[in-house]
Amino acid sequence: MSKTFYITTPIFYPNANLHLGHAYNTTLVDILARYHRLKGEEVYLLTGADENTEKVVRAASLAGVETKEYLDGIVANFKSLFQKLSISYDQFIRTSDEKVHFPGAQEMWRRLVEAGDIEKRSYEGLYCVGHEAFITEKDLVNGKCPDHGETPQGLKEENYFFKLSKYTKTVSEKIRSGELQIIPETRRNEILALLERGLEDVSFSRPSEKVSVGVKVPGDSSQTIYVWCDALVNYLSALGFGRADDALFKKFWPADVHVIGKDILRFHAAIWPAMLLSAKLPLPKQLFVHGFITSGGKKMSKTLGNVIDPNELIAEYGGEAVRFFLARHISPFEDGDITLESFKEAYNADLANGIGNLTSRIMKMAQDHLHDTNIRMEETNDTNKIPSDFLKAFDDYDVQGATTIVSKAMSTLDTRIQETAPFKLIKIDKEKGRALIVELVRELYTIARMLNPILPETSEKIKTLIKENRMPEISLFPRKVDNDSC
State which of positions 390-429 bind ligand ME8 (CB under 6 A). none
Cα–Cα distance for residue pair 221/214, rounded to 1 Å: 11
Q: Which residues pair with 120 in a beta bridge?
A: 160
Out of 5, 24, 204, 397, the residue judged to bind ligand ME8 by CB under 6 A: 24
What ranges in 210-254 are assigned the alpha helix state H?
227-232, 234-237, 247-252
| Nearest residue (CB) to ligand ME8, 133 versus 448 | 133
Nearest to 4 by CA among 33, 30, 25: 33
CB of 260 to ligand ME8, least distance (A): 5
State which of positions 1-20 bind ligand ME8 (CB under 6 A). 10-13
Residue 241 touching ligand ME8 (CB under 6 A): no
Residue 324 touching ligand ME8 (CB under 6 A): no
| Nearest residue (CB) to ligand ME8, 42 versus 337 | 337
Out of 71, 108, 195, 293, the residue judged to bind ligand ME8 by CB under 6 A: 293
Integer CA distances (angstroms), 139 to 135, 146, 197, 291, 362, in order? 7, 8, 17, 21, 58
Residue 41 per-residue DSSP state: -
CB of 342 to ligand ME8, least distance (A): 16
Residue 292 touching ligand ME8 (CB under 6 A): yes
Nearest to 47 by CA among 10, 20, 19, 76: 10
Integer CA distances (angstroms), 271 to 163, 165, 232, 238, 338, in order? 10, 10, 9, 19, 32
Angle between helices 310-317 and 20-38 (to 10 degrees): 60
Nearest to 10 by CA among 249, 185, 255: 255
Can you say how many angstroms the Cα of residue 152 is from the centroid of all Cα atoms in its chain? Answer: 30
| Nearest residue (CB) to ligand ME8, 21 versus 284 | 21
Amino acid identity of residue 36, one-letter, is: H
| Nearest residue (CB) to ligand ME8, 10 versus 310 | 10
Residue 165 per-residue DSSP state: G
Cα–Cα distance for residue pair 45/85, rounded to 1 Å: 15
Out of 5, 6, 7, 21, the residue judged to bind ligand ME8 by CB under 6 A: 21
Residue 333 touching ligand ME8 (CB under 6 A): no
Here's the x/- map for ligand ME8, 243-282, by CB under 6 A: it reads as: -----------------xx-xx------------------
Cα–Cα distance for residue pair 268/220, rounded to 1 Å: 27
| Nearest residue (CB) to ligand ME8, 12 versus 445 | 12
Here's the x/- map for ligand ME8, 426-465, by CB under 6 A: it reads as: ----------------------------------------
Out of 283, 300, 308, 466, the residue judged to bind ligand ME8 by CB under 6 A: 300
Here's the x/- map for ligand ME8, 44-83, by CB under 6 A: it reads as: ------x---------------------------------
362 phi, psi to nearest 5 deg: -65, -45
Angle between helices 310-317 and 319-329 (to 10 degrees): 110
Residues engaged in binding ligand ME8 (CB under 6 A): 10-13, 21-22, 24-25, 50, 231-232, 234, 260-261, 263-264, 292-293, 300
